[in-house]
Amino acid sequence: MAGAAVDVLATGGVIARVGPGIAAAPGAEVVDGQHGILLPGFVDAHMHLDKTFWGLPWRAHEAGPSVLDRIDNERRLRRELRLSPDIQAEGLARQAVSRGTLHIRSHVDVDTEIGLRNFEGVMAARRRLKDIVSIQVVAFPQSGVVTRPGTAELLDRAVQGGAELIGGIDPAGIDRDPKGQLDVVFGIAGRHGAGVDIHLHDPGELGALQIRMIAERTRALGLAGKVSVSHAFCLGMVDEAELGHLIDLLVDSGISIMTNAPGDRPMPPLRRLRAAGVTVFSGSDGVRDAWTPFGTADMLERAMLLAYRSGFRTDDLLHGALDTVTRGGAAVLGLEGYGLDLGDRADFVILPGETLGELIAMRPPRSWVISAGRVVARDGRLERG
């Protein structure tokens, strides 16, 4: 499906003209796309910028297999390493930009041991990078809410301090009190008009029960379109009848689903959810941190993983995977002017290739990354700032 060759004129950070043979305006910077493919910037809508080891020497993974093992291991490492969250966050966000990502949603740890230290670090990094990449922040209670008294107050302060969303984690599996955790999370969201994005690893019926509880609260507070469930392994585990019911509930409540195509966990049925009208989005999740040795913050690679794990082969299905890391994420982040139409933000990534399916299969280097009409990376390297 090769498109026709066009020129794009960006003025004032937005797309002013699209068509063949546009003459360069005097003084304009001219970027030669060499008949590659022009896409809107990628959206990495589930990162953990504050906790990455990106830029540090290789560290062998040493956590046990369960979520609790990994939380404990991370807390120990955090005390030992005392990394600077703003420097780590900035380094990883820059890496993401070099791979064509121009919009990020990052969960940021908030707990009674570190307080708002990581949150303030990521907020500082986001201020420094605001002309290159947009960063939305989720105040994330990685270690639990109900079981760690004092966390709720910290989450509330983070939202008052600029976090757009409030996070949660396995209300049953981690806190053993789904009602307690969800009441705190949705209570803060309701008070401040914040969005909600909950990590839900809990399996099968236990996970399904919590999706029903999240949907109930989303409706009660009128938060349709502002609530996401991340991972939702349970959607890949329940039987057909239950899955159909949950999908109807997600559509009716306006809840979006994030999957990063996890290696050895069940994943939500991407094709089925999209066909039913559920907004599905994706993200790197942890990149090179205490949770995983993997990741390069590359959303084209993520699209390949989504397709690979879902058994997608046809171009049509590959396009769906690409849509998940572009328009799906943009919809969830509520980005205005995202796309390639006149008046949209001039946020582009240009890649060598002939078709979108080929891009996912080959994952070529990013020739150009352009943010609001300004070149920010070329051939995989950041240009400036």
Positions that interact with Zn ion (CB under 5 A): 285
Spatial separation of the C-alpha atoms in residues 222 and 252, rounded to whole Å: 12
Write down the least CB distance from residue 142 to Zn ion, Å.
9
How many CB atoms lie under 10 A from the CB of residue 314? 10
Tokens 């949603």 sit on residue: 105
Spatial separation of the C-alpha atoms in residues 238 and 250, rounded to whole Å: 15
Closest CA to 144 of 132, 152, 135: 152
156 or 285: whose CB is closer to Zn ion?
Answer: 285
285 or 323: whose CB is closer to Zn ion?
Answer: 285
233 or 312: whose CB is closer to Zn ion?
Answer: 233
Helices and strands (DSSP H and E) totals, the chain: 12, 15
Write down the least CB distance from residue 61 to Zn ion, Å.
16
Strand partners, 377: 369, 382
Furthest CA-CA distance within the chain = 64
Write down the least CB distance from residue 231 to Zn ion, Å.
7
301 or 383: whose CB is closer to Zn ion?
Answer: 301
Write down the least CB distance from residue 125 to Zn ion, Å.
18
Write down the least CB distance from residue 358 to Zn ion, Å.
30
Quick one: the chain helix, strand, coil %, rounded to 5?
Answer: 40, 20, 40
Token pair listed for 52: 């990455």
- The H-or-E segment that residue 15 falls in is strand 14-19
Write down the least CB distance from residue 52 to Zn ion, Å.
12
164 or 285: whose CB is closer to Zn ion?
Answer: 285
How many CB atoms lie under 10 A from the CB of residue 268? 25
Spatial separation of the C-alpha atoms in residues 52 and 161, rounded to whole Å: 23
- Continuous H helices in the chain: 67-81, 85-98, 117-128, 151-160, 178-192, 204-220, 240-253, 270-276, 299-310, 315-323, 329-333, 356-362
Spatial separation of the C-alpha atoms in residues 293 and 106, rounded to whole Å: 18
Write down the least CB distance from residue 169 to Zn ion, Å.
9
94 or 231: whose CB is closer to Zn ion?
Answer: 231
Report which residue's Cβ sits closest to Zn ion.
285
Write down the least CB distance from residue 173 to Zn ion, Å.
14
Count of positions (residues) in the chain: 385
74 or 90: whose CB is closer to Zn ion?
Answer: 74
32 or 264: whose CB is closer to Zn ion?
Answer: 264
